[in-house]
A and B are shown apart, each in its own frame.
Chain A
Amino acid sequence: MRHILSILVENEAGALSRVAGLFSARGYNIESLTVAPTEDATMSRMTILTTGSDEVVEQITKQLNKLVDVVKVVDLSEGRHIERELMLVKVRAAGKDREEMKRTADIFRGRIIDVTDKSYTIELTGTTEKLDAFLEALDKSAILETVRTGVSGIGRGEWVLKA
């Protein structure tokens, strides 16, 4: 099962390695991990995409809560939530393919943010599935470089994750 864990951590040196170290030491999966400071400068928010049985994810949550630097952990996938991932793709865009590449980017609501006479760099935001679908839609040989942020998520409605 796929789970999205949102974690508030103290903005301390080493907090990231405590979390990452926990996953590697106990053999848990990290599909993706994002982290950045929040509106409260003393805290950072991490989003970890992990997979595991319900028992494993329950253990992951408990173990994360045990870390002294971890302020709060919530499994976003337990409730209604929104998730987004940002991807930058550099693609070959020359000759007859140039127009087709632009059209495909438009269909996926991607934006071209850098241009040369032979390439486009496309910015695309969406769910993991949407980004995957976009890559599928491209001719594999046209993809020069891909960089993805990993999933970020937030709960729907008025509920907020607070310390």
Chain B
Amino acid sequence: MELKLPPLAETGETLTGAEIAIRCLQEEKVEFVFGYPGGAVLFIYDALFNQKKVKHILVRHEQGALHAADGYARATGRPGVALVTSGPGVTNAVTGIATAYMDSIPLVVITGQVPTRAIGEDAFQECDTVGITRPCVKHNFLVKDVNELAITIKKAFHIATTGRPGPVLVDIPKDVSQQSARFHYPEKIHLRSYSPVVKGHGGQIKKALQLLLEARRPMIYVGGGAILGEASGEVTELVRLLGYPCTNTLMGLGAFPASDKRFVGMLGMHGTVEANMAMQNCDVLLAVGARFDDRVIGNPAHFAAGSASRKIIHIDVDPSSISKRVRVDVPIVGHVKDVLGEMLALLKAAKTGPDAAALGAWWDQIAAWRAKDCLKYDRASPIIKPQFVIEKLWEVTKGEAIVTSDVGQHQMWAAQFYRFEKPRRWINSGGLGTMGVGLPYAMGAKLAFPDADVACVTGEASVQMCIQELSTCKQYHLPVKLVNLNNRYMGMVRQWQEFFHGNRYSESYMDALPDFVKLAEAYGHVGMRVEKPADVEGALREAFAQKDRLVFLDIITDQTENVFPMVPGGKGMSEMILAEDL
């Protein structure tokens, strides 16, 4: 007699699509789901109600859900999960999805959809979710058969977290969440069309090290990929063994400790003179998990001409990031951690080291650029300087806080003046530059690390873009600290208008700002206003001493302060404007 085994999918218990979705999240050990209910996800919310393992965080706007999930992912390295309803739930989420996509953050976004029979009929709260999100996700799925749901969610987690990470969306029609199927969650998954390269090419790694050791003016340029790829240990060891200068991008801050003397600061549009000049003039450049974007190297033709014989080595998990804006001599596709590990092993076994005399001369040159002291500002100012606030924030938190930021001048000052020692401590929107991320990012980080100090450095314009999440912070007791650098302007817009638009401050001034102290209080939090430099440190200490309260520090800063250095758009990295030039 033939022995008949039921197919694998028949072995599990029978669950509804909604229950399957939640069970999948449990199987993935998801701690938090950030979301907002609505018609199309009612069955899924019902399934959430009946369990305790996955905690739902009810935000006040879907954009906040996505940013909070994104902030959680940036702080932990684990995928963030969001759940929103169809139509406006999805369109509100798009900004958050695009933000995560630009910075390669792993997210799994579950969206409700109208029932399958209604798709395409312009049903209530219907939108083409898969179509709308396609250009800003790593991948997306519409699940039309409940039997495909578990495996699709498995695929979503797999795709989101492997290779170059990114957001993956799973759209679930309401009837699919209602129908039943046997539940089976596969342990492993194979996708024939998706197998990201992990291991770097041995020959290329050898060649790269050879070039690095022959360098006379070397430079190591480390981006967000080193943080996403958990390679900061390898980066630090390599830089210290070689004794070469190292710069971090905005997204890479913390990958190499800022206190190390080999750190030349952040590079780019608001990078230091020493970082930008060393990039421009080096003869061998090692790029690690970075993408030579426009805010980093400025004009690529100017960069290429800066050092005609410059050789570039580029390690990245995404082949399409290599030779995209800048021609690379030694491309290495692979996980930065693995590739750097191999490079380190070779370096330790190497018989020769760097050319000490050449390196000494190069460091002398860098010291001369450093002597420009490009980040100096008026410390004696009777008006609060924003840079001073960040320096004090660093002191008060002993450099150990998780700092999130919004987008604009305050973001750049936080990046320049909060000296990050470790990865995943600096959380900001680099690629898309999304105002409003700071507060929800802080929520995601605080949920992940309840004992850590979490500070959101923001501005009075940015913070108003997701201010409603103060209410979420109250509901879930998230005592983050908001450091609002309030200059009564959209500062970066104002700066560009001052430099490039003849001081015509078109619509960059808000005439009717809320009283942030009262606003914080209205949401049930503590609000404090700080107007004198002498009060900054005390206020910060008082705020961080209130461990169980959210404190909104409204700090009235100098309206005219600008971020320096600055490489104007389209210019080369060495064409910086310094404070003293004006």
Contacts and interface: CB of A to CB of B under 8 A. Distances in A.
Interface of A: 9-10, 13-14, 17-18, 21, 25, 55, 58-59, 62-63, 65-66, 68-71, 163
Nearest to B159: A68
Contacts of B135: 21, 25
B193 A70 contact: yes
B442 to A, nearest CB: 32
Interface string B311-329: 0000000111001100100
B120 to A, nearest CB: 12
Interface string B163-199: 0000000000000000000000000000111100000
B320 A17 contact: no
Given A68-B139, A68-B159, A14 B130 contact: yes
A57 to B, nearest CB: 12
Contacts of A10: 193
Given A62-B319, A65-B320, 8 more contacts: A13-B142, A17-B134, A21-B135, A55-B323, A63-B320, A66-B318, A70-B193, A71-B192
Nearest to A22: B135
Contact of B324 (A9, A18, A59): A59
Question: Majority SS of interface residues in chain A?
Answer: helix
13 contacts: A13-B142, A18-B134, A25-B135, A59-B323, A62-B320, A65-B319, A65-B320, A66-B318, A68-B139, A68-B159, A68-B191, A68-B193, A69-B193
Nearest to A55: B323
B142 A59 contact: no
Contacts of A62: 319-320
Given A13-B142, A17-B131, A21-B135, A71 B320 contact: no
A21 B134 CA distance: 8
B138 interface: yes
B134 A58 contact: no
Nearest to B322: A62
B162 to A, nearest CB: 11
Size bin of chain B's contact surface: 10 to 19
Interface of B: 130-131, 134-135, 138-139, 142, 159, 191-194, 318-320, 323-324, 327
A142 to B, nearest CB: 42
B192 A163 contact: yes
A14 B192 CA distance: 18
A69 B192 CA distance: 9
Contact of A68 (B142, B194, B320): B194
A68 B137 CA distance: 11
Contact of B134 (A14, A55, A59, A71): A14
Contacts of B131: 17
A58 B192 contact: no
A10 B194 CA distance: 11
A65 B194 CA distance: 9
Contacts of B134: 14, 17-18, 21
A18 B130 CA distance: 10
A58 B323 contact: yes
A125 to B, nearest CB: 31
Contacts of A69: 139, 193
Contacts of B159: 68
Given A14-B134, A17-B131, A68-B138, A59 B320 contact: yes
Contacts of A59: 320, 323-324
Contacts of B142: 13-14
Contacts of A70: 193
Given A14-B134, A17-B134, A21-B134, A71 B319 contact: no
Contacts of A13: 142
Nearest to A58: B323
A71 B190 CA distance: 13
Contacts of A63: 320
Nearest to B196: A66
A17 B137 CA distance: 14
B176 to A, nearest CB: 15
Contacts of A18: 134
Contacts of B138: 68
A65 B319 CA distance: 9
User: Chain B CB within 10 Å — which of A9, A18, A68, A71 has the most?
Assistant: A68
B108 to A, nearest CB: 14
Contact of A71 (B130, B193, B324, B327): B193
A14 B142 CA distance: 10
Contacts of A58: 323
- Which 10 pairs show the lowest CB-CB distances between chains A and B? A62-B320, A68-B139, A71-B193, A68-B194, A62-B319, A25-B135, A63-B320, A66-B320, A10-B193, A21-B134
A34 to B, nearest CB: 20
A13 B144 CA distance: 11
A23 to B, nearest CB: 12
A8 to B, nearest CB: 8
A25 B138 CA distance: 14
B496 to A, nearest CB: 25
A68 B194 CA distance: 6
A163 to B, nearest CB: 6
B130 to A, nearest CB: 6
A68 B159 CA distance: 8
A9 to B, nearest CB: 8
User: Chain A CB within 10 Å — which of B130, B138, B193, B320 has the most?
Assistant: B193
A62 B193 CA distance: 14
Nearest to B193: A71
B323 to A, nearest CB: 7
A21 B193 CA distance: 18
Nearest to A42: B192
A45 to B, nearest CB: 13
